[in-house]
Amino acid sequence: MNAKTKDTRQHILEVGYQLVINKGFTAVGLSELLRAADVPKGSFYHYFASKEQFGEALIGEYFSNYMKRVDTLFSDPNLGSRNKVLRYFSRWLETENGVCNANKCLVVKLSAEVADLSEPMRMTLAKGTERIVTQLSQQIVKGMQEGSIRTKSADALARQLYQQWLGASLLNKLAQDCSNLEHCLEVTEALLSD
């Protein structure tokens, strides 16, 4: 793929992410995406065979970028593993331009919406979330080795925490405040202290 091709494809994905995170996948029509990205219809179909394939690529790109940020956070030599896990979850509460990071999560936004519509998109979401849980579990194992985290099962704790945060993020969207996420952080701190 040459640089121009990669740039155009990436541009469509970046514009598409902004539209989808604000409106949802099914609410964003192809003409709206093309107009916002300022690309002709033929260009879209050069990169993506269908809107579904675009959605699958969008989710894949999201997780690729997300995991790079997680890797950077988890490789910080100045933090112990317990603090790395706490920092990871506390970032869900951070805001940018008045929008909470939890509200920028494609897992929260798309899981219920596309799980019944597209098997490839559902599978891409499922694989991406499994990567996150695996990274959390590995960090919890390191915390167990350091003595900063006590648990019987790193995998079970990683899954519980991630599921808890997804649920709190959904409630955050309903309540339009961060109280559920704040409570979730308190529970996370307690679970990591046991």
CATH of the domain at 40: 1.10.10.60
Q: What is the CATH number of the domain that holds 62?
A: 1.10.357.10
Amino acid identity at 122: R
Tell me the pLDDT band of 101, cut-offs 50, 70 and 90: low
Averaged pLDDT for residues 92-115: 78
Residue 38 φ then ψ, to 5°: 55, 50
C-alpha distances (whole Å) from 188 to each of 20, 32, 68, 114 are: 29, 40, 23, 29
Question: Does 97 score more than 90 pLDDT?
Answer: no
Question: pLDDT, tens digit, for every residue of 24-53?
Answer: 999 999 999 999 999 998 889 999 999 999
Could you tell me if 143 and 60 lie in one domain?
A: yes
Task: Indicate whether 75 and 43 sit together in one domain.
Answer: no
Identify whether residues 142 and 167 lie together within a single domain: yes
The answer on 64 and 155 residing in a single domain is yes
**Same domain? 33 vs 89:** no
pLDDT in tens, 144-153: 999 999 999 9
Residue 177, pLDDT > 90, answer no
* Co-location of 82 and 174 in the same domain: yes
How far apart CA 157 and CA 63 sit, in angstroms, is 21
pLDDT at 117 over 60: yes
The domain tally of the chain equals 2
The answer on 25 and 75 residing in a single domain is no
Query: Which range is most confident: 23-27, 133-137, 177-181?
Result: 133-137
Q: Does one domain contain both 20 and 39?
A: yes
Same domain, yes or no, for 72 and 110?
yes
Residue with tokens 């919890």: 140
Same domain (yes/no): 96, 169: yes
The verdict on 91 and 26 lying in the same domain is no
What is the extent of the structural domain holding 142?
Answer: 51-193
Cα dihedral value 180, 181, 182, 185, nearest 10: 120
CB 44 within 8 A of CB 15: no
> Which of the listed residues 30, 47, 64 is the one where a domain comes to its end?
47
| Residues 63, 76 share a domain | yes
Task: Write the CB contacts of 161 (distance below 8 Å, at least 6 apart in sequence).
Answer: 85, 89, 136, 188, 191
- Residue-level pLDDT at 6: 61
